[in-house]
Chain A
């Protein structure tokens, strides 16, 4: 009884205190009307238009880069047919002036995407820690929970953590991607490396085998993760998921990630000289 009384009083005391915490609001209908409202309204509309534009720029540049990465895998994958196939493809793209505008366009898209996508990253370390705690808690929940028929539906949640990993891989990409793009720009547009202007298998092989293979391995892992999760998120955001269920989209994302990663690892193994080009027979070459 004594305890119950304490509880009741405590509860009333708390209720009393929270009342005093509630700040004053402007009169109910007054806060969004009148002359000032009109001005803020048009300002708000301008801000909203900019926010829409930024969202489109960051999303579409990301989709463009992700789609380019698929094509890119096929181009680098030409090394699987041997050095001759690789050089033929590179030479063809450069002779017809496809490679030069592409490399410039990708550099521009890359910078645009970095700037506009980064606007959503929390600036303060404390904020990032808060996000990480939240996301890690959500990911861990349900992992060791007993299965119970008849219990309310439980959906495991991973995507918050995937977002954080997208930020992390994005930051790696800003550094390693810039490095790679500068090298490619110099290769395609200047005679600085190799025997002539353009991408050459000899230069590329020498780079990878000269000790850069861990850099390219990390770049490959980050770019494939970032791109496949990004495409998945874009599809869900804009509602492709209405027809294609989200679980299906997620499975497509995982399939894309693993298959392209596997193809990339194979390509990198050939570039590093650990593996003979497995498709060399297509060109009838002795390797």
Chain B
């Protein structure tokens, strides 16, 4: 970081609106703050709240890109505030809440409800093959399978992909990038009893993978760099194969 960058005075434009206040109207508020070395948006927002406006609402928990609470639109792009250094941003920073999700206030959105609805829609839990026996040894899984499942399970439910998705922004029933990833995760799981046919109507519909129009934003904005485009092509090919097998 050069001396010039450290000396920057940042202008931060923040979306302000409290939906619980009947008199409130959505607006943006401009703040000015001196940049400090290694400042993240998390540090910036915390300082703004401590020093300038205590009513500013935003979500944080882990500060290390694990909890997925701090997704927001940073100059038009969904990003995690905790892992975004202000030094990588221009002097004028615009912060808006993630679209798609219900607004709690200012930059805080309710991703939890969206994700719960999605999980119920795709039934994102193990449908066990036989009743669980706590005394029996666990069934073995191949390394490849467990690695593939682990890769999909790295999703932190931050909602950046959902917010960047054109379809999720327009169609509330669409499972969204995170939902498609969740489908693939349980389709790959050998412990799950659902076969291709059982998955077919969930995955193949316009609320599943064929709702996707291939804008690819989800893949580009994912803070965990999940291979989402590969996941979708896996789902597409899998569903096509299942459909052909069914007709035979």
A and B held together in a complex: yes
Which residues on A are within 8 Å of B, measured CB to CB?
A: 3-4, 6-7, 10-11, 13-14, 17-18, 21-22, 25, 31-32, 41, 44-45, 47-49, 51-52, 54-56, 120, 122, 127, 130-131, 134-138, 140-142, 144-148, 151-157, 159-160, 163, 233, 236-239, 241-242, 246
Chain B residue with Cβ nearest A154: B88
Given contacts A134-B164, A142-B77, A239-B233, contact A47 B170 (CB under 8 A): no
Chain B residue with Cβ nearest A246: B229
Find out whether the CB atom of A32 lies under 8 angstroms from the CB atom of B123: yes
Chain B residue with Cβ nearest A117: B213
- Distance in angstroms from A193 CB to nearest chain B CB is 40
Which residues on B are within 8 Å of A, measured CB to CB?
A: 5, 18, 20, 49, 54-55, 57, 73-77, 83-85, 87-90, 99, 102, 104-105, 108, 110, 113, 120, 123, 164, 166, 169-170, 200-206, 208, 210-217, 219-221, 223, 225, 229-230, 232-234, 236-237, 239-240, 243
- Distance in angstroms from B52 CB to nearest chain A CB is 10
Q: Which B residues touch A152, using CB under 8 A?
A: 83-84, 223
Closest 5 CB pairs of A and B: A137-B76, A239-B233, A141-B77, A48-B204, A44-B201
Q: Which A residues touch B77, using CB under 8 A?
A: 137-138, 141-142, 157
Docked complex Cα distance between A204 and B104 (Å): 63
Q: Which B residues touch A163, using CB under 8 A?
A: 166, 213-215
Find out whether the CB atom of A130 lies under 8 angstroms from the CB atom of B54: no
Find out whether the CB atom of A13 lies under 8 angstroms from the CB atom of B20: yes
Docked complex Cα distance between A237 and B239 (Å): 13
Identify which of A6, A52, A120, A154 contacts B54 (C-beta below 8 A): A6
Find out whether the CB atom of B233 lies under 8 angstroms from the CB atom of A153: no
Find out whether the CB atom of B210 lies under 8 angstroms from the CB atom of A54: yes
Find out whether the CB atom of B170 lies under 8 angstroms from the CB atom of A122: yes
Docked complex Cα distance between A55 and B74 (Å): 34
Docked complex Cα distance between A163 and B218 (Å): 14
| A/B interface sample: 9 pairs, CB < 8 A | A47-B206, A52-B204, A52-B210, A146-B89, A146-B90, A152-B223, A159-B215, A160-B215, A246-B229
- Distance in angstroms from B228 CB to nearest chain A CB is 11
Find out whether the CB atom of B169 lies under 8 angstroms from the CB atom of A238: no
Known: A7-B54, A136-B76, A146-B88. 19 other contacts (CB 8 A): A6-B54, A13-B20, A14-B104, A18-B104, A49-B200, A49-B243, A52-B210, A120-B213, A134-B217, A137-B77, A140-B76, A145-B75, A145-B88, A148-B87, A151-B85, A159-B217, A163-B214, A239-B230, A242-B233
Docked complex Cα distance between A13 and B99 (Å): 23
